[in-house]
Amino acid sequence: MAAPTADTAQLVLQARQGDATAFELLVRRHLRAAYAVALGVTGSEADAEDIVQESFVTALQRLDDCRDPQRFSAWLMRIVRNRSLNHVRDEGRRSALSLDDVTVRSKDNPAVDAERSQLREHLMEEIEHLTRLQRGVLLLHDLEGYRHREVAEALGISEVSSRVHLLAARRALKARLTGRYSA
């Protein structure tokens, strides 16, 4: 049985030997990031959930193909990204991005809740105007807390490109939201 504190490489090695608990821990550790990548590419919660599930099945089936267990996260995120891009290409559509799972509610002030809900809706609308790559970088870096090196590995881009796309995404969101809220 895998220890909860085992490092990723050790979990990969244990999962390769058939340890289902080790693979379950890998899934738990990488689920949110995988979802962020899929959501960033597809813009659809339902599609992202399906793609993440399929990606983990693929990862389990191809675990021996992960040459460097220390880089499991980057390897997995490439699977998720490629499946997401294939899905978008095959579907030929983009859906509205939803951030309902990120809702923070104030227990004492319904007016604050309503304001946050409206801001979240506006943010979702404006994120949809970003490129897929900008959305992916923004979600991984700002929502999931990935460092630029990790974002770069997950999305198959350079660290510099990660920084450039994050800056562009933040500037675009700021401009669009400032235009919306300036009176």
pLDDT (tens digit per residue) in 69-92: 998 998 999 999 999 988 888 776
Hunting for tokens 């980057």 — which residue is that?
Answer: 74
Burial (Cβ within 10 Å: 0-12, 13-18, ≥19) of residue 169: buried
Q: Report CA 168 to chain centroid distance, whole Å.
A: 18
Same domain for 5 and 88, yes or no, is yes
CB 43 within 8 A of CB 97: yes
The answer on pLDDT for 98 being more than 60 is no
Same domain for 117 and 176, yes or no, is yes
pLDDT tens, residue by residue, 53-67? 999 999 999 999 999
Phi then psi for residue 51, to 5 deg, are -65, -40
Tokens for 132, please give them: 């897929």
Same domain for 119 and 51, yes or no, is no
Q: What is the pTM of this model?
A: 0.60
Same domain for 11 and 91, yes or no, is yes
Mean pLDDT in residue range 36-41 = 88
CA atoms lying within 13 Å on the CB side of residue 60: 16
Same domain for 88 and 112, yes or no, is no
Same domain for 171 and 112, yes or no, is yes
Structural domain that includes position 110: 106-183
CB 177 within 8 A of CB 146: no
pLDDT of residue 3: 38
The answer on pLDDT for 97 being more than 60 is no
100 occurs within a structural domain? no
Same domain for 26 and 48, yes or no, is yes
**Domain boundary pick from 95, 123, 156:** 95
pLDDT tens, residue by residue, 139-153? 888 877 888 888 888
CATH number of the domain enclosing 27: 1.10.1740.10
172 — pLDDT class (breaks 50, 70, 90) = confident
Alpha carbon distances (Å) from 131 to 13, 53, 62, 136: 36, 24, 30, 9
- Which amino acid, residue 7? D
Same domain for 89 and 158, yes or no, is no
CATH number of the domain enclosing 172: 1.10.10.10
Using alpha carbons only, what angle is made at residue 168 by residues 167 and 172, rounded to the nearest 5 degrees?
A: 120
Which of 6-15, 26-35, 56-65, 118-127 is the least confident region? Answer: 118-127
CB 101 within 8 A of CB 107: no
Same domain for 54 and 143, yes or no, is no
- What mean pLDDT is reported for the chain? 82
CB 74 within 8 A of CB 37: no
Phi then psi for residue 23, to 5 deg, are -65, -35
pLDDT tens, residue by residue, 99-140? 554 444 556 677 777 777 777 777 777 888 888 889 889 888
